[in-house]
């Protein structure tokens, strides 16, 4: 748990932050809060979370870290648990959710537990605050340039780890998510983590706009580094392929790659692995005789 989350608020200070953030949210959106977030058969998980996998990932990361003081839970009540985080108590023995639907289920369970402990009005207030923060977080570059192959993910994650603080490394890391697509979503949500620092959001919206600018500037530099690395990789791959196979094979490879919507390097990788599996099966058959 990052130190800045753990030390920030007394209940009175939390109320002040909530009030200021709600004021700013309502001022920008001209809405009044709904007292019963999950009544009348409505799902307690907001639609904007359910429909956007990045938003769902970001909200999951938010509740993963948020301390009891921010969600108006009494610290004394849970002194024997060794943690001041509802998520840590509720999901102590569970692995990180592995896909979008699992994150929705976990978020729903967390919100329902918070309703049970503090009431629907508090949860409604909390969700308005989270939505207010997301309205800025979603303005950060969507990172459409980030590939989903494992090598792309590892490169991006290494860059983030190199440039983040020790406190920020308390987040889960990509090893928690086995599928490359899930790791990619995690990274896109992770770069928006600056908006999870609730204690700093009692400031004017201009401060949040500056955070958007800062993160986009950081991602611009990250994109340049990323593209530079994979530009060299692609050039190197083409040189090696050209040197190792005949012109006829290169033409065939180019056509196959185009037909399968893959790069030539990816197509060659696929062909080699497929041939290797067939060879191993044939070899196993020969030995069995």
Per-residue model confidence (pLDDT) at position 30: 44
Which own/partner contact pairs does 204-208 have at CB distance under 8 Å and 24+ positions apart?
204/24, 205/24, 205/28, 205/136, 208/133, 208/136
Our CA angle for 187, 191, 195, nearest 5°, is 135
CA atoms within 13 A on the CB side of 135: 15
State the pTM of this model. 0.68
Name the stretches of the chain with pLDDT < 50.
Answer: 1-19, 23-28, 30-35, 37-40, 200-201, 235-237, 239, 287-289
User: Token pair 């959001």 is at which residue?
Assistant: 201
What pLDDT is recorded for position 214?
Answer: 93
244 CB-contact burial (10 Å; exposed 0-12 / middle 13-18 / buried 19+):
exposed
How confident is the model over 151-201, as pLDDT tens digits? 888 889 989 888 877 666 566 777 778 778 899 999 999 999 888 875 544
User: Measured at the alpha carbon of residue 63, what is the angle toward residues 78 and 172, in degrees to the nearest 5?
Assistant: 105
Cα–Cα dist 237/44, whole Å: 50
CA distance 125 to 157: 34
Per-residue model confidence (pLDDT) at position 232: 54
Termini Cα distance of the chain: 59
pLDDT at 241: 57
């Amino acid at each position: 748990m990052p130190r800045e989350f753990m030390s920030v608020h007394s209940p009175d200070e939390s109320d002040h932050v909530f009030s200021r953030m709600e004021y700013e949210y309502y001022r920008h959106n001209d809405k009044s809060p709904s007292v019963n977030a999950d009544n009348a058969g409505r799902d307690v998980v907001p639609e904007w979370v359910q429909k956007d996998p990045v938003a769902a990932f970001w909200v999951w990361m938010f509740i993963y870290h948020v301390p009891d003081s921010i969600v108006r839970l009494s610290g004394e009540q849970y002194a024997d648990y060794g943690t001041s985080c509802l998520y840590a108590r509720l999901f102590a023995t569970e692995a990180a959710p592995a896909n979008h639907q699992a994150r929705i289920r976990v978020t729903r369970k967390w919100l329902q537990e918070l309703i049970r402990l503090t009431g629907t009005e508090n949860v409604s207030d909390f969700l308005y605050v989270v939505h207010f923060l997301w309205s800025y977080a979603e303005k950060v570059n969507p990172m459409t340039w980030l590939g989903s192959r494992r090598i792309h993910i590892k490169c991006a994650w290494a860059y983030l780890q190199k440039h983040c603080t020790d406190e920020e490394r308390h987040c889960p890391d990509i090893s928690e998510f086995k599928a490359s697509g899930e790791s990619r979503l995690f990274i896109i949500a992770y770069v928006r983590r600056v908006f999870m620092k609730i204690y700093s959001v009692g400031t004017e919206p201009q401060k949040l706009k500056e955070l958007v600018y800062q993160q986009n500037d950081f991602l611009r530099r990250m994109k340049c580094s990323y593209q530079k690395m994979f530009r060299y990789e692609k050039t190197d791959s083409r040189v090696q392929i050209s040197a190792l196979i005949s012109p006829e094979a290169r033409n065939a490879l180019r056509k196959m790659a185009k037909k399968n919507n893959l790069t030539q390097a990816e197509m060659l990788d696929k062909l080699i692995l497929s041939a290797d599996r067939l060879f191993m099966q044939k070899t196993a058959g020969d030995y069995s005789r």
